[in-house]
Structure 1
């Protein structure tokens, strides 16, 4: 399929708030269903990136509407509402967008590197279901190489700025006696894990209880960081006891409701989940301070200014890797012609026509043809030139 049929359709933090993005978030069971439906519709290459800041569907399709329909069929919102908020990119522009996302250039906090792990996980999930083919596999490999080069050769992700670290910065700015506060962390996935480590490393507190739906994961992290853990059934009691609650769960509905907090002690709640896992209405309670990923993204410091200075370097690295993919793609388009020429030469050899007859000579002609096409492809002339080279023996 022509790469002009590569599309990305998505929404992100630039035009939507956390609540709106939550309507389009894709959970694992929805992802499985989407990929199964894609296969039935003949869409062989597709994957979905769903994070706290974005939901995007990438794929090879006849038109972008096919991908939008697949995505919206699995969400609680309508296709019409998605189209009002979304951006759609095609071909080269779609590829450039993916490079920018993987580099952290399109992150809500510039240079946030957590997106790379989320991208790898999304691609692996799709590949395991047989929905990543030749084109997307190659593109993703080069995108990740580019992202790694940017991280190695620039300071775009330097310093300590990310959503999980922004939560720590918020607490540092708003809580004077953090070591005396009872902290509860709900969810010990990647973001919850990073937040826990930052609490210990940067705020110097271990007065922390970890709760995860799969208790073994919370227990493992608690042992590593010398913290407490509790079973998921204890969550309500732990929320009631805590002074600070950090929520990094992956539930489709709020796990903490306004009713739970109505008569509680004063609390700070930090919701790192999309969709919201703390009821947004809790913000109306006078004794509750509630912040979410959108609030945290506004935290700015000198690190972000340094990162801005690295953007041109990152874009230059992306341009190099984009050119690498373009060269690969152009050669990929030439494969049928090269195969046809090779078959023609083999037929000539078999028929005993004048010219070089060694298999090695045929391969030299093909290699020379591929080299010419890499520099400046001209299919008709290249075909005739290869046959002429073979007959006259001009390839050394």
Structure 2
């Protein structure tokens, strides 16, 4: 679609909720899957929105974009969520301008993650923006901004230990299992959901628990088949889910289903089980929590796990913030120069008009007039651009440029 909204940084907003003020159940009311994201793109023009993207993970749902008011973004988002716009707004943080930019840089770096330095968020940002770009909802500002955030995240990962060690929600699940079972090899593990989080979790199970006694189930069976073949695991069709649940000692869920997949009826009289729900919305029926012999853990409880790795990461946070400050300053320089571009173009047009007059051709006799005047004009434009950048002023430079050109040798 054609992007028409003028880029004014004061119209750039982020509205979101995350783990800091909401539990997994509440976040689940505002989770957005790919199908809902598509519907949002379809109706966005009716909300007078043409540049935005949405991040929806187990820890947050955030919408970033250009609007006259943040309510436009919130109302659009909540057309596809079970939670209402009013409820979202009562829980949300809303930021605009440079504060919104700073928030995105911090999210991309893992500084705002439930587990500090969790690097999985950057892949989720890439995917969210990719979908928006393919449908024409990423303008030049957002494109440049996201690229800068991605580069900053990469620099932080390479130049600091903020993401050092192996700590993420999926790895925290493995740590929890490891701490609760002495002999894991004889335990049967069921993993439901083999998307990005499920796939990462599966690899962590194999790598850090040293077991292949794992069965994979996915609604789209071919994904489970492919991952099972890659890691030498078992797989089963979704129709066999209830039998797989009954047979398993440890169950992990990582699906994007909007309704619970694992029900209390599946677990009644089926023995002791550990269930780790990595899904948002929750993928395990809430009544399971009180069942005898069942231990149910969700992403919020996993996020409370602390260890030596996280303490080391906390010490690296100030370095990461310094890198963000430097990269944000460069981005704002780019934005300022882009904002000055119309004025510089107008100045250049006027100088070209002046140079066409006869007296300037006479004054530059003996030298190729066109070459000399073009050089003079570009020199003046460069000078004015530098002043605009340094002093953040526009209006007075128009006359100043003409005077500078007139007096140039």
Interval containing the TM-score (normalised by the shorter chain):
over 0.9
1:71 corresponding residue in structure 2: 77
Name the SS of the counterpart of 2:118 in structure 1. Answer: coil
Q: Extract unaligned runs of 5+ from structure 1.
A: none
2:225 corresponding residue in structure 1: 219
Q: Is contact 1:43-1:61 (8 Å) kept? A: yes
Q: Give runs of aligned pairs for residues 206-245 of structure 1, distance below 5 A.
A: 206-245=212-251
Compared CA separation, residues 352 and 281, structure 1 to 2 (3 A): farther
**Partner Cα separation in structure 2 for residue 389 and residue 363 of structure 1:** 12
1:117 corresponding residue in structure 2: 123
From 376, 380, 383, the counterpart of 1:361: 376
Q: 1:212 Cα shift?
A: 1.6
Deviation digits for residues 186-233 of structure 1 (CA, Å, limit 9, x no counterpart): 111111111111111111111011122222221221122111122222
Q: Give runs of aligned pairs for residues 72-91 of structure 1, distance below 5 A.
A: 72-91=78-97
Name the SS of the counterpart of 1:177 in structure 2. Answer: coil
From 345, 354, 379, the counterpart of 1:348: 354
1:376 matched to 2:391? The reply is: yes
1:201 corresponding residue in structure 2: 207
From 282, 292, 297, the counterpart of 1:276: 282
Q: 1:353 Cα shift?
A: 4.7
Name the SS of the counterpart of 1:291 in structure 2. Answer: strand
1:55 matched to 2:53? The reply is: no
2:162 corresponding residue in structure 1: 156
**Partner Cα separation in structure 2 for residue 162 and residue 377 of structure 1:** 43
Q: 1:145 Cα shift?
A: 1.1
Q: 1:111 Cα shift?
A: 0.7
Superposed CA RMSD in Å reads 1.4
1:179 corresponding residue in structure 2: 185
Q: Is contact 2:344-2:381 (8 Å) kept? A: yes
1:316 matched to 2:331? The reply is: no
Name the SS of the counterpart of 1:213 in structure 2. Answer: coil
**Partner Cα separation in structure 2 for residue 15 and residue 353 of structure 1:** 70
2:265 corresponding residue in structure 1: 259
User: What is the TM-score normalised by the length of structure 2?
Assistant: 0.93
- Farther-moved stretch of structure 1 (1-10 vs 226-235): 226-235
**Partner Cα separation in structure 1 for residue 355 and residue 237 of structure 2:** 74
From 7, 12, 22, the counterpart of 2:13: 7
1:128 matched to 2:140? The reply is: no
Q: Extract unaligned runs of 5+ from structure 2.
A: 1-6
Name the SS of the counterpart of 1:188 in structure 2. Answer: coil
Name the SS of the counterpart of 2:353 in structure 1. Answer: helix
The number of equivalent residue pairs is 394
**Partner Cα separation in structure 1 for residue 93 and residue 395 of structure 2:** 39
Q: Give runs of aligned pairs for residues 18-57 of structure 1, distance below 5 A.
A: 18-57=24-63
Compared CA separation, residues 336 and 260, structure 1 to 2 (3 A): same
Q: Is contact 2:109-2:153 (8 Å) kept? A: yes
Name the SS of the counterpart of 1:310 in structure 2. Answer: helix
Q: 1:27 Cα shift?
A: 1.3
**Partner Cα separation in structure 1 for residue 329 and residue 354 of structure 2:** 37
Name the SS of the counterpart of 2:58 in structure 1. Answer: coil
User: What is the TM-score normalised by the length of structure 1?
Assistant: 0.96
**Partner Cα separation in structure 1 for residue 33 and residue 203 of structure 2:** 26
Name the SS of the counterpart of 2:185 in structure 1. Answer: helix
**Partner Cα separation in structure 1 for residue 296 and residue 185 of structure 2:** 20
Q: 1:363 Cα shift?
A: 2.3
Q: 1:131 Cα shift?
A: 0.5
Q: Is contact 1:35-1:46 (8 Å) kept? A: no
**Partner Cα separation in structure 1 for residue 76 and residue 90 of structure 2:** 16
**Partner Cα separation in structure 1 for residue 314 and residue 123 of structure 2:** 22
